[in-house]
Every structure is written in structure tokens, then in C-alpha cells.
Amino acid sequence: QVQLKESGPGLVQPSQTLSLTCTVSGFSLTSNSVSWVRQPPGKGLEWMGAIWSGGSTDYNSALKSRLSISRDTSKSQVFLKMNSLQTEDTAIYFCTRGTPFAYWGQGTLVTVSS
């Protein structure tokens, strides 16, 4: 069955770079897009960006200057890197498949704090 699972550090210091991994199973990254979505505590959902089945990427314009999404199809993994983190980047980070988002990971909480 389709599964996605996020992993990464729970705590990142301000100004540092966040690196997250989404490991997928039950589908191929060469046939499906994967997006990253985040949700600050007590707030709504924000689409961050996506990597398409062909490998090209698309980003939320508000994050584009800080964000990079890549993948390793041989490992069924999608990566998120975002630099210059600030406290307002504290959030649960989800990865999802396709559009609409019928499949979601459980999310991983990232806290930006010194």
C-alpha cells in the first residue's frame, strides 16, 4: 500500500539549514509527484513545493529563495532542504503524493530554537 514517512532532526538552530527526508513505498517517484506541506502549531496548511515525476520542481514563491526539493529514485526518497531558518519556520512538515493529496505522511515536528 501507499506509504510516506518523513524523517529529520526535531530541533534546528536559527539561521541553520533544515534537511528532511520523505521515504515512500507502494508507488514510484517516476510516476508520481511528491509535495511538501507544513503547518505551524495551531495554524493552517502551507504548500511548500513539489517535485514532479520527471524530476522538475515547483516552489511556493514565498519560500523559493530558501527551498530546494530533490530526490533519489533508487532509494524512493524525496529530500527537502531549506536554509536560513527562523522561529516562524517551526512547524509540522508533511510529505504528500500527487494532486489532490490523497496520501500523506504522519508529519514530523521541526522546532527552530537556540
Alpha-carbon torsion, ordered 109, 86, 60, 46, to 10 deg: 40
| Coil/strand/helix, residue 39 | strand
Among 12, 105, 108, 112, binds another protein (CB under 8 A): 105
Counting contacts by CB under 8 A, is residue 93 touching another protein? no
Element (H, E) at 48: strand 46-51
Vertex 99, ends 97 and 102: CA angle to 5°? 60
* Residue 111 cell numbers, joined: 522546532
Least gap, CB of 73 to another protein (angstroms): 21
Pick the closer one to another protein by CB: 56 or 114. 56
CB-CB contact of 51 with 102 (8 Å)? no
Least gap, CB of 74 to another protein (angstroms): 26
Counting contacts by CB under 8 A, is residue 106 touching another protein? yes
Least gap, CB of 61 to another protein (angstroms): 6
Counting contacts by CB under 8 A, is residue 50 touching another protein? yes
Residues that bind another protein (CB under 8 A): 35, 37, 44-47, 50, 58, 60-61, 94, 99-102, 104-107
